[in-house]
Amino acid sequence: MTSSWLALLALALEGGGIAGLVSDLSPAMSLASYLSGHALACGLLTLVLLPLLPARYRGTTLMPTLFLFTLQFAIPFLGSLGVFTGVLLALYLPRVERDIPWQEVDIPELPFQPVNMDQQVIYSEGGLRQVLREAGSIDKRLKALLATRQMVDRDAIELLREALKDPADDVRLLAYSMLEQKEKTLASQARRLQLALDEPQADDRPRLKRRLAQVWWEMAYLGLAQGSLRSYYLDSARRLLLELTDTLAMHNDWRLLGRVELALGNVIAAKRAFDNALDKGAPHELILPYQAEVAFLERDFQRVRFCLASLARYRPHPSVRAVIEGWL
């Protein structure tokens, strides 16, 4: 009831202000009378509208009051009517359908039987090797082969070669196709690099030779080649690295040459290459494991311990750390 009286009083004040604006008074008096009546009407309607606002806006009355009053006062004649109508429409005509920001789903039922962990593939080298050797299911052995794609290439290729002896044709064919894919990838890279080197106007020939030597070494190191083919790859890499070291060599060229010489069984040449790599600025932690291997092949076990003790001051690879603990 009070709200109705306040609304009627606000309409009367608004009407009186409009009447004063169109009266025969001076312009200043007419404007002052209208603004006074309009301000009082806006204030009364604000008091009427405040209780109609949602609860979250009624917690602090200062800001909603200023907003309603300013909005009505800034729009003469129609401001109060528009704000009042908008609040009433929002109050009595709410949105029928609301967007639910989540989706209700049924609670999933528990499995009716426990999961057989023996059917799960273990993604580790030892686990995959055990699956390939002992699993009676062909599907499990095929899944183990596919899981080798997540492993380091050298370990994966070793497992794939072991799978070539599997009694099941499907396992052998899959292992062969995966090996062939890896070999084709490296062979195509070597072919492109060789063609680029054969061009008379080839740019940056040392870079091409270095990359080709790395591809040849990778073919042999990963075990994709066996026997005479492996020797051919190693000899080809050695020839290119010797050409690089005779001109402008980086310490990585000497280090790779030392690894190739070790693979070929040339211990003295490998030792000289690793020494040259250190002279060219190679980090000691990269060369010390190979120097320890050279010392072991020369049966100089005292130097093996010295190299491994020097390597222990750095942060060696976990695989090398086990060797250091065994020797020291």
Please report the DSSP string for 46-107 in residue order: HHHHGGGS-GGGSS--HHHHHHHHHHHHHSTTTHHHHHHHHHHHHHHS--SS---SS---PP
Which stretches of the chain drop beneath a pLDDT of 50?
Answer: 120-122
| Cβ atoms of 88 and 122 closer than 8 Å | no
Model pLDDT for residues 201-216, shown as the tens digit of each residue: 766 787 888 888 888 8
Helices (H), 164-250: 169-198, 205-221, 228-246
| Residue-level pLDDT at 290 | 85
Mean pLDDT of the chain: 76
CB proximity list for 6: less than 8 A, separation 6 or greater? 44, 45, 47, 48
pLDDT for residue 121: 45
The pLDDT value given to residue 89 = 62
pLDDT digits (tens, 9 = 90+) for 17-62: 666 666 766 767 766 766 677 677 777 777 776 666 666 666 667 7
Cα–Cα distance between 74 and 164 in angstroms, integer? 87
Residue corresponding to tokens 């976990």 = 318
Question: How far apart, in whole angstroms, are the C-alpha atoms of residue 249 and residue 206?
Answer: 9
Is pTM beyond 0.75? Reply is no
Q: What is the pLDDT of residue 7?
A: 64
The yes or no reply on domain 204-282 and CATH 3.40.50 is no
- What integer pLDDT is reported at residue 155 of this predicted model? 78
Q: Tell me the C-alpha distance between 216 and 197, whole Å.
A: 15
Contact status, residue 24 vs residue 32, Cβ threshold 8 Å: no
